[in-house]
Amino acid sequence: MHPPVGRLKLNVDSAFKSATGSAGGGGILRDHNGRCICAFAKNYQGTISALDAEARALRDGLAMCCSKGFLDIMVETDSLMLTQSVTGQSQRPWDLTCIFQEMAEINHKLTTQIQHIPREANQTAHHLAGYGCSTDQTCFWELEAVLPHIVKGPYHLDKVGYPTLRT
């Protein structure tokens, strides 16, 4: 679902493979028409859990918005645990204190509203996170035309409002 006119929406997600310890995160900022304003994908070395990767992706997404001057954003994630940790509905894990402190410092400069969504509604961010898991660099895009091919399909389907069904 697109944000209302005049608002921007950031979707973030992570990919964490416990067997290999590899992790990545990704996010996309969109306008009310669903157009990509900017997006990122990043590999996370030394990640200890799925929540760690989710928190890093949110921190990096908020930092991206702040650095671009987008200060009023709706945030969506498919991680209920992250949403509850950020909103104070559950206790934050002590081993992620630094990441949550960094997130709070960035969030202090922003007006945000975080919401949990089903994973089917977060496919573009999911594919960006998968891309981040497979790359060894931090990637940023400011045009939808240059998004990675693995992301373009879910992005265009989401942009036109085509639902993704749970398999």
Distances (CA, A) of 17 to 11, 40, 78, 127: 21, 19, 17, 14
In a domain, residue 1? The reply is: no
Taking the C-alpha atoms of residue 113 and residue 165, their distance in angstroms, rounded to an integer, is 26
Mean of the per-residue pLDDT values for the chain?
A: 93
Looking up residue 71, the CATH number of its domain turns out to be: 3.30.420.10
Token pair recorded at residue 4: 């209302």
In a domain, residue 88? The reply is: yes
In a domain, residue 16? The reply is: yes
In a domain, residue 166? The reply is: no
Domain limits for position 99: 8-159
Q: What's this model's pTM, rounded to 2 decimal places?
A: 0.94
Coil, strand or helix at 51: helix
pLDDT of 93 over the 70 cut: yes
pLDDT, tens digit (0-9, with 9 covering 90-100), for 94-130: 899 999 999 999 999 999 999 999 999 999 999 999 9
Over range 57-64, report the average pLDDT: 98
Tally the domains of the chain.
1
In a domain, residue 167? The reply is: no
Distances (CA, A) of 134 to 45, 93, 144, 162: 11, 27, 20, 27
More confident residue, 1 or 33: 33
DSSP string, 23-40: EEEEEEEE-TT--EEEEE
Amino acid at 65: C
In a domain, residue 26? The reply is: yes
Q: 10 Å Cβ neighbour count for 20? A: 8
Taking the C-alpha atoms of residue 146 and residue 81, their distance in angstroms, rounded to an integer, is 32
